[in-house]
Amino acid sequence: MAKRALITGITGQDGSYLAEYLLDLGYDVFGMVRRSSTENLERIDHIKNDIEFMQADLLDQASLDKAMDTSRPDEIYNLAAQSFVPTSWSQPVLTAEFTGLGVTRILESMRNFAPEAKFYQASSSEMYGKVREVPQNELTPFHPRSPYAVAKAYGHHITVNYRESYGLFAASGILFNHESPRRGREFVTRKITDGVARIKLGMAEKLALGTLDAQRDWGYAGDYVRAMHLMLQHDQPDDFVVATGQTHSVRNFLEVAFNHVGLNYEDYVVQDPRYMRPAEVDQLIGDNSKARQILGWEPTVSFEQLVTMMVDSDLQLLGG
């Protein structure tokens, strides 16, 4: 019998890659979507007929219970969240509700309706924030720097707590930034590649950004969803850092993206205080040795390949 997977956040970047991956492996995929006045299936349009959709919301326990009871999943991937860091300062309580307490609601549903299932929590390298050591591993203490990161730290700890309290198979993947042509346009990588494509095609003149000095360990989302799946195939629930082990600044990203179309970023980029954050995470770099050794996972897409893939995709989308 085919395995059954329930994915929350299936309309997001990671949800779309994970759904593709699990369908290819022969899973029955159940996708949780929240009610909207307009359809929001752009990223999964090509596979939507293969997915069984269920309407539910992280704020609504009854809807989560119904989704869990109907899908009776073998594996649950909790990817849904308010995931944009700047919004967490303007909507801190909502972010805590979705990104923090939402995890407890899902775990409670699992405990009541699918206690034998395996659970994956989408934890984040943002939890390391003002980093305590370099590189960061599974034992590095957290120092969150945004309401989003605080909520994710809660989500991580409640996942570990339900594992320890109730013996649930609950794994936490501490994923560093991962990007793709399907990344939301408000995140810096996609904002840059979309901006580069617009400038190259004569549709824009400038690109306004915040800090260019922040450094991130950027990987490819398609690689990272494989790690999520591997965590749930392991014989015991655990925490895993998923990262490339390399870090680059926003400025490095700009150089590669603009160079790819024969332009110099310094001629186009302006800094705008509106995009500066009240508290910044200056540098993230992950130690992926545990995932490599125990899960046999490794990234396959280099930084340069990632940047150029995203620029080429945006050029094509805009008709270039």
User: Which residues belong to the active site?
Assistant: 124, 126, 148
248 binds ligand NAP (CB under 6 A): no
Residues 256-315 that bind ligand GDD (CB under 6 A): 275, 277, 280-281, 284
CB atoms within 10 A of CB 39: 10
**Contact status, residue 116 vs residue 47, Cβ threshold 8 Å:** no
214 binds ligand NAP (CB under 6 A): no
**Contact status, residue 94 vs residue 147, Cβ threshold 8 Å:** no
130 binds ligand GDD (CB under 6 A): no
14 binds ligand NAP (CB under 6 A): yes
221 binds ligand GDD (CB under 6 A): no
Give the contact letters, 68-107, x = binds to ligand GDD (CB under 6 A), - = no.
---------------x-x----------------------
From start to end of the chain, where are the E strands? 4-8, 28-33, 51-55, 75-78, 118-124, 169-175, 178-179, 207-209, 215-216, 219-220, 239-242, 248-249, 269-271
User: What is the C-alpha to C-alpha distance for residues 88 and 154, in angstroms, rounded to an integer?
Assistant: 14
β-strand pairing of 215-216 with 248-249: antiparallel
Judged by CB under 6 A, the residue of 70, 104, 161, 211 near ligand GDD is 211
What is the closest distance, in whole angstroms, from the C-beta atom of residue 172 to ligand NAP in the complex? 11
Judged by CB under 6 A, the residue of 20, 28, 57, 126 near ligand GDD is 126
Give the contact letters, 102-141, x = binds to ligand NAP (CB under 6 A), - = no.
--------------------x-x-----------------
Considering only the stretches 77-85, 156-164, 190-198, 207-215, report the one whose residues sit in contact with ligand NAP under the rule CB under 6 A.
77-85
User: What is the C-alpha to C-alpha distance for residues 20 and 194, in angstroms, rounded to an integer?
Assistant: 24
**Contact status, residue 106 vs residue 113, Cβ threshold 8 Å:** no
124 binds ligand GDD (CB under 6 A): yes
Judged by CB under 6 A, the residue of 83, 159, 215, 244 near ligand NAP is 83
What is the C-alpha radius of gyration for the chain, rounded to an integer number of angstroms?
19
Considering only the stretches 80-88, 156-164, 252-260, 278-286, report the one whose residues sit in contact with ligand NAP under the rule CB under 6 A.
80-88
User: What is the C-alpha to C-alpha distance for residues 159 and 155, in angstroms, rounded to an integer?
Assistant: 6
Nearest to 106 by CA among 70, 72, 73, 65: 65
Q: Supply angle C-alpha 84, 162, 75, rounded to 5.
A: 70
85 binds, among ligand GDD, ligand NAP, none (CB under 5 to 8 A by kind): ligand GDD
Question: Where along the sequence are the contacts to ligand NAP (CB under 6 A)?
Answer: 8-9, 11-15, 34, 36, 40, 57-59, 79-83, 98, 122, 124, 175, 177-178, 184
